[in-house]
A = this chain, B = another copy of it.
Amino acid sequence: MNQAFSHIAIIGCGLIGSSILHAINRYYQQNQQAKPRLHIIDNNPAHLAQAQELKLGDDYYADAAQGVQLADFIILASPVGAYASIATQIADHIQPSALISDVGSTKQTIIAQLRAILPAHCSFIAAHPIAGTENSGPSAGFANLFDGRYVIITPDNDTPDLQLQKLTEFWQNLGAMIEIMSAPRHDKVLAITSHLPHLIAYTIVGTARNLENELDSIENNGSTPDSRDVIRFSAGGFRDFTRIAASDPIMWRDVFLHNRDAVLELLANFRNDLDFLTKAIETSDSDALEKWFTDTRIIRRQIIEEKQAGQFIATENKQKK
């Protein structure tokens, strides 16, 4: 960390907060430098106890105001809906010149909120690591979550260069690649790459739940009726959606409330496209279907080329030739 920080406070020790802590600890195991003191703040007593048991940091606080007092770097890692309340709690307790950043999935609304609450003497630079899993809580974190992943930083014209440089180096030391863009652009890009996909996954998994009872009533030619058909035969595609739809409910509730306009705009696009494909099915327009399904393969190839694809493994029967 080039000695940039001597006290780091992480507010919220969930998947991302605990992964940051793992990654910081990994960095200092690999590099002979004085390790900053790590202050962990979480208002959930169970999570705080778990973080302590996992020895993720040095000091543990339920009270954010107390936890940030020594910090020259503060990271908000709670759901974005809690930012305003946290900022109000800590505003009078922040060190002069402290750098404050975050990891939230939406940027425009939270930047406006935090600028109105945080004192002028500190720098707030919003950031967002594009990484995660469907698991939540302090035990979900792991050190290499950010390796090779992007962190989007959204500075503005008032952002001090030195602070931006420190934040950039911090994330690079954790294994990430940095991308600078404006907050409006971030919110639009994330709406399509993350927020709309999650909303659609949540929708379809809900649709399946509502359907389960209905399936029991269908004539089934001798097999035992079973409301768990949707579960047992999920390997045909549905299970991948359930993974995404198992993500943290509070985090995602807040994302949709905070990036409402961009999500609603994209939803309108999605509905138009769904109308097109629905009509193609209704009219048996095989050319239209085949063309659409062929075109979508291109994006997958590009993601693989960009080394952002990952791989889905059926853990019970790992793929071997």
Minimum-distance CB pairs A-B, first 8: A194-B236, A182-B221, A249-B293, A246-B300, A147-B317, A197-B237, A310-B314, A245-B296
B242 touches A299 (CB 8 A): yes
CB distance from A87 to the nearest CB of B (A): 19
B184 touches A219 (CB 8 A): yes
Q: A236 — nearest CB in chain B belongs to which residue?
A: B194
Contacts A/B (CB < 8 Å), 22 sampled:
A81-B286, A144-B320, A145-B319, A147-B316, A179-B223, A182-B223, A188-B218, A197-B240, A197-B241, A200-B274, A206-B296, A207-B266, A210-B269, A211-B269, A232-B308, A240-B244, A240-B312, A242-B299, A242-B303, A249-B289, A260-B282, A311-B312
B residues within 8 A CB of A115? none
Is A234 an interface residue when CB atoms closer than 8 A count as contact?
A: yes
Residue among A134, A250, A289 with max Cβ neighbours from chain B (10 Å): A289
B303 touches A198 (CB 8 A): no
Is A156 an interface residue when CB atoms closer than 8 A count as contact?
A: yes
B233 touches A130 (CB 8 A): yes
Is A190 an interface residue when CB atoms closer than 8 A count as contact?
A: yes
Contact status of A303 and B256, CB under 8 A, knowing A294-B249, A320-B143:
no
Contact string, A269-293, partner B, CB cutoff 8 A, digits 1/0? Answer: 1110110011001101010011011
B236 touches A270 (CB 8 A): no
Contact status of A233 and B133, CB under 8 A, knowing A206-B273, A221-B182, A292-B206:
no
B residues within 8 A CB of A181? 220-221, 223
A180 touches B222 (CB 8 A): yes
Tell me the bound Cα distance from A271 to B314 in angstroms. 30
CB distance from A158 to the nearest CB of B (A): 12
B257 touches A289 (CB 8 A): yes
B residues within 8 A CB of A232? 150, 179, 306, 308
Is A302 an interface residue when CB atoms closer than 8 A count as contact?
A: yes
Is A132 an interface residue when CB atoms closer than 8 A count as contact?
A: yes
The residue that A284 contacts in the complex, of B142, B207, B257, with Cβ under 8 A, is: B257
- Known pairs A204-B270, A311-B315; list 17 more (Cβ under 8 Å): A142-B321, A149-B235, A150-B233, A152-B233, A179-B233, A184-B218, A202-B292, A203-B274, A205-B299, A206-B277, A206-B295, A207-B266, A207-B269, A234-B308, A239-B310, A253-B290, A257-B286
B residues within 8 A CB of A311? 312-315
The residue that A296 contacts in the complex, of B246, B270, B303, with Cβ under 8 A, is: B246
Is A92 an interface residue when CB atoms closer than 8 A count as contact?
A: no
B182 touches A208 (CB 8 A): no
CB distance from A204 to the nearest CB of B (A): 6
B residues within 8 A CB of A320? 142-144
Contact status of A238 and B269, CB under 8 A, knowing A182-B221, A253-B289, A277-B202:
no
The residue that A303 contacts in the complex, of B231, B281, B298, with Cβ under 8 A, is: B231
